């Protein structure tokens, strides 16, 4: 492999011991419902907090893709630590978790870099970023072996989201793709305020309304630290003829810790065709 990104959050955000990590994810899956969804899942939204806070919410989405096979998985997260314009792709090598190395889909990486000038390889954007890595162990347990395209958004405005969605659609034509949007919801409001604000986002997800979500994010009516990745999943899934959206679960950190004075919201959703 040309480059190997080592885990920066194993042992803190999720267990560093592979057997414990796999056991915990299996337990999350066992505790999640198994609804019958009509159609093929091509996009999902999952949170990116530590597993003790949001792992059970994420399991509601990832359980539904167990034993599926995809030509590639695209994981889109927001940048928390590095400021840059556009979108960064980690374009070669692989990313390591305690469960092994997930190889980058290098052919797609090269194509998407060429597809739009807003997409570039900015290594620093990925080194300490947790929003993409946190999704990988769930994908490893659910899918087994797979290759993926890691994307980190420095800008999450509507124009960048639409350009990225179009680029993903164009470079994955003819392939069976899963697109994952990594996002938490509102941050550090009290429990009731957070629930009211997050309910607006949930309605946009339920109605598959990416335009409404982007407008409300821009106007400050709602907050989501991965609002861009959420919108990109919705926009791309629609281009790929997804016509059904399912909101699977919502909770916030107050539901887990009991501290409702300052909470973070989490949700899981899927988009099917």
Whole-number mean pLDDT of the chain?
Answer: 96
For the entire predicted model, the pTM comes to: 0.97
Relative orientation angle of helices 51-62 and 18-31, to the nearest 10 degrees: 60
Q: What is the dihedral of CA 60, 64, 67, 73, to 10 degrees?
A: -80
Check: CB of residue 235 under 8 Å from CB of residue 161: yes
Task: Please state, in angstroms and rounded to a whole number, the distance separating the CA atoms of residues 265 and 79.
Answer: 18
Q: Where are the alpha helices (DSSP H) in 32-183?
A: 51-62, 106-115, 124-127, 130-133, 136-143, 158-171
Distance of CA 82 to the CA centre of its chain: 18
What confidence tier does 2 reach under pLDDT thresholds 50, 70, 90? low
Please write the tens of the pLDDT for every residue from 139-160: 999 999 999 999 999 999 999 9
Task: Please state, in angstroms and rounded to a whole number, the distance separating the CA atoms of residues 241 and 253.
Answer: 34
Please write the tens of the pLDDT for every residue from 177-203: 999 999 999 999 999 999 999 999 999
Please write the tens of the pLDDT for every residue from 116-142: 999 999 999 999 999 999 999 999 999
For residue 64, is pLDDT > 70? yes
Please write the tens of the pLDDT for every residue from 10-43: 999 999 999 999 999 999 999 999 888 888 999 9
* pLDDT number for residue 36: 82
- What is the bridge-based pairing of β-strands 263-272 and 244-252? antiparallel
Q: Which two tokens stand for residue 251?
A: 């909770």
Distances (CA, A) of 104 to 90, 94, 190, 227: 8, 5, 40, 24
For residue 1, is pLDDT > 60? no
Residue 10 DSSP class: B
Is the torsion defined by CA of 273, 174, 48, 32 positive or negative?
A: positive
Domains assigned to the chain = 4-272 (3.40.830.10)
Q: Is 9 helix (H, G, I), strand (E, B) or coil?
A: coil
Q: Which two tokens stand for residue 124?
A: 């620093």
């Amino acid at each position: 492999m040309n480059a190997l990104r080592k885990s920066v959050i194993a042992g803190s955000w999720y267990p560093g011991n592979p057997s414990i990590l796999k056991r915990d994810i299996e337990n999350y899956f066992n505790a999640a419902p198994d609804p019958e969804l009509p159609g093929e899942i091509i996009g999902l939204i999952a949170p990116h907090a530590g597993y003790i806070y949001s792992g059970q919410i994420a399991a509601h989405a990832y359980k539904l893709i167990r034993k599926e096979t995809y030509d590639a998985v695209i994981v889109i997260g927001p940048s928390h630590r590095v400021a840059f314009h556009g979108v960064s792709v980690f374009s070669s090598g692989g990313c390591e978790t305690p469960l092994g190395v997930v190889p980058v889909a290098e052919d797609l990486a090269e194509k998407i870099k060429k597809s739009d000038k807003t997409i570039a390889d900015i290594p620093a954007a990925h080194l300490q970023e947790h929003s993409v890595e946190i999704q990988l162990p769930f994908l490893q347990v659910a899918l087994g072996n797979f290759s993926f395209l890691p994307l980190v958004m420095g800008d999450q405005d509507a124009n960048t989201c639409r350009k990225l969605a179009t680029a993903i659609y164009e470079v994955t034509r003819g392939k069976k793709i899963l697109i994952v949007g990594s996002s938490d919801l509102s941050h550090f409001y009290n429990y009731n305020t957070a629930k009211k604000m997050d309910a607006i986002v949930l309605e946009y997800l339920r109605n598959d309304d990416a335009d409404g979500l982007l407008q409300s994010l821009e106007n400050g009516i709602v907050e989501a630290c991965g609002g861009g990745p959420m919108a990109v999943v919705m926009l791309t899934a629609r281009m790929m003829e997804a016509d059904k959206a399912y909101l699977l679960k919502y909770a916030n950190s107050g539901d887990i810790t009991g501290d409702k004075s300052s909470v973070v919201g989490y949700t899981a959703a899927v988009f099917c065709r």
